[in-house]
Structures are given as C-alpha cells and as structure tokens.
Amino acid sequence: MGETRSKLPIGSADHPHAPLLGVWSRDALPDWVVRGLQRRPTGSVRIGSPLRAVRDALGAGSASASDLRSFCAEHSQRPILHVGFGNADEENTLESHSSVLFTTEPWMRQRGRGLQRTLEIPLPGFPHEGSIAQASAFISQGMAPELLHAASVAPSDCGSLLARLQDVSILLVQWLGMPDRVSAASTAERLHRSHESQPDASSRLFRLWEGSISVTCAFMDGRTASLTASNRHWHWRRCALVSGPVGAIFVDDQHMEWRSPTNEVLETPAPSCADGDVPAPSLLLSAALNPPLVAELPSLMLQRVRAVMEAACLSALTGEPESPHAMLELLSQA
C-alpha cells in the first residue's frame, strides 16, 4: 500500500560499490524498508535484531547479531540504519559506535548534553539531487518566502504520524525559520501497543497515534505557514507551496515549478523521477543510502525542528498556542 514498484531488478543498485550497511530493528521490518534494502548490492546489508525472522529478512540471518552491543561493535564506525523508535540504551550504544545513523522515525532526543559525534539523517529523507533539494537551492538564493503550506501524507505502514510531522517541520525550519507561535489540532486516535514504554514528552504520545495533525504557524514579522501531516492516507505524497515577493514555488518529490508574481513559469527543472514514476518511500530510502550521502541536518537545525514538533504536539493536546522558542530552551536545558 502506498508503494510504486521499482522498474529495476531486485538486488540492483546505482552504486555497485556501496559500503556495508548495518540495519537494526527490534520489530518486523516494514515492507518499504525491505524493498529499499533489496535495491542494494548483494552482501552489502547486515541485519541485526532480537527476532530471527527479521535477521533472515534478506537471507543473511547467520551473519547477523541478536544483541545490539555486539552488532554495533561489528559495525563500529560504519553507517547504521535504525528502524523504528529508539530508546535511551539504544541511543547511547549507537552514539558510541556508528559514524552515520539513519533513522526511519524521529527519536526526539534531548540534545542539550553536548554535541553528538554521530550524524543523524532522517529517512526516507529528501533526495540529495531531487526536486525538494532544487527548491531549497532557489529559496536560499534570495526568494524571501512569506508563506508556506507543506503536507506529508502516507499510509500507517510507512511510518508514524510523528515521522510525517517531521517531514513538514524540516521544510518549515529550512525555508522560513522557527515560528514564534504554533497552534495545532489533531484527529488522531491512540493505538494500543503493549510493548511501548510510558511516553515522557508530548511528542512521544504521537508514536502511538494514527490519523492527522494540522499546524498553523505565525511569525512576529507577519509571515505564516500551515503544515499538514497524516499517516492515515491511501498513498504516499509530500508537497509544498512556498511564496514570496519574487513568486511562488510548488514542489513535491517528483518535480518543481517556480512561477513569477504574474504567473509566468520561470523554472521547471527536469523531473527527479524518470518515466513518470511516483517516488515511494522505498525508492527514496534506496537513493538516500547510496553514496554520496544526502546532506545531513545540522545539529542546531534538527533541534529547532524538534522544538517545533514538541510545541505542535503539545498544542494539539492542550488546544492552546505554544511557543517553539520556549520549547527549544527547555530542550537545551535537558
């Protein structure tokens, strides 16, 4: 559900000399993750998990580990993909071993304890040479955006509502900065998962929820933004409309279009995906895992993104506007 199958044969890859990738998951691997990993060269993936069925997902169970510490020691200073949400013990172990940590779910880690040595790259992420990266380049050249609407929707098997909220929050902070106030509403329903530990922050509650959240963002200088996220949608789609004095840009994972204030088309770069394919999470994940690696989010930007997410989730729970700046201060003191 929500996937467009690749036209490449299973086991193929754009970069035949891809480095060894460690993959760790405590739960069954989502189908989009398995498909993305299948596009890597044979033998370039090692899966570790307490579950034998997960270790056997790519037919390499005998060469994988069931203990995270042993697994990390084996993959020390190599890229590791962590599937699902992490806990404190996993965070500490991964921080001490991996050089690059790919995450399929936002951990909402408190980053006030000092700079982490590990680069964290959210997945499926935005293509390194894709249309959203093209839009970011245009905006950074002086577009001065005043308004943004961004949406990220997907079926529940593509990730949590929190992951979809992270998608649009990244675009907000990258393109407009951190807002002064956010107001949010949600139609999400809580799922019952007995293995989940007690949440310790507003955002962590949304690990367990399925549905939608909408966020209105206001800046002191009059700029505005609206964000929509859902993990109860029939297919995968991420898109954004950003506008300013020099025109408007519409972008999704497949194409970008920049129009002037008089609605003339100024730029339409070549589509990111050939043959009209709609990029599914597995294709985006596969592209992000191949060298050269996608550009990582700077630590301070990632902290601001998560301050926006915390404020939005708290607002959705309380029904009151919240301040991302106040949330950022709390996170930095943790």
pLDDT digits (tens, 9 = 90+) for 278-328: 568 888 888 888 776 666 677 788 889 999 999 999 999 899 999 999 999
Residue 61 CA to residue 70 CA, distance in Å, equals 15
Collapse the DSSP code of 69 into the 3-class scheme (helix H, G, I; strand E, B; otherwise coil) and give the result. helix
Q: pTM (2 decimals)?
A: 0.86
Q: In CATH terms, is domain 21-122 a member of 3.40.50? A: yes
Exposure of 302 by Cβ count < 10 A (0-12 exposed, 13-18 middle, 19+ buried)? buried
Q: What average pLDDT does this structure show over 256-266?
A: 89
Q: Which tokens is 205 given?
A: 């509650």
Per-residue model confidence as pLDDT tens digits over 202-258:
666 677 788 999 999 999 999 999 999 999 999 999 999 999 998 999 999 888 999
The neighbour count for residue 196, using CB atoms within 10 Å, is 12
Sketch the domain layout of the chain as residue ranges: 21-122, 131-318
Residue 254 backbone class (left: φ over 0; alpha: ψ -120 to 50; beta: rest): alpha
Superfamily of domain 131-318, CATH level 4: Dihydrodipicolinate Reductase; domain 2 (3.30.360.10)
Exposure of 62 by Cβ count < 10 A (0-12 exposed, 13-18 middle, 19+ buried)? exposed
Q: Which tokens is 220 given?
A: 């002191």
Secondary-structure breakdown of the chain: helix, strand, coil percentages, each rounded to the nearest 5: 30, 20, 45
For residue 11, pLDDT over 50 is answered with: no
The neighbour count for residue 218, using CB atoms within 10 Å, is 15
Q: Pick from 58, 55, 239: which is nearest to 132 by CA?
A: 239
Q: Pick from 155, 192, 154, 184: which is nearest to 312 by CA?
A: 184
Collapse the DSSP code of 89 into the 3-class scheme (helix H, G, I; strand E, B; otherwise coil) and give the result. helix
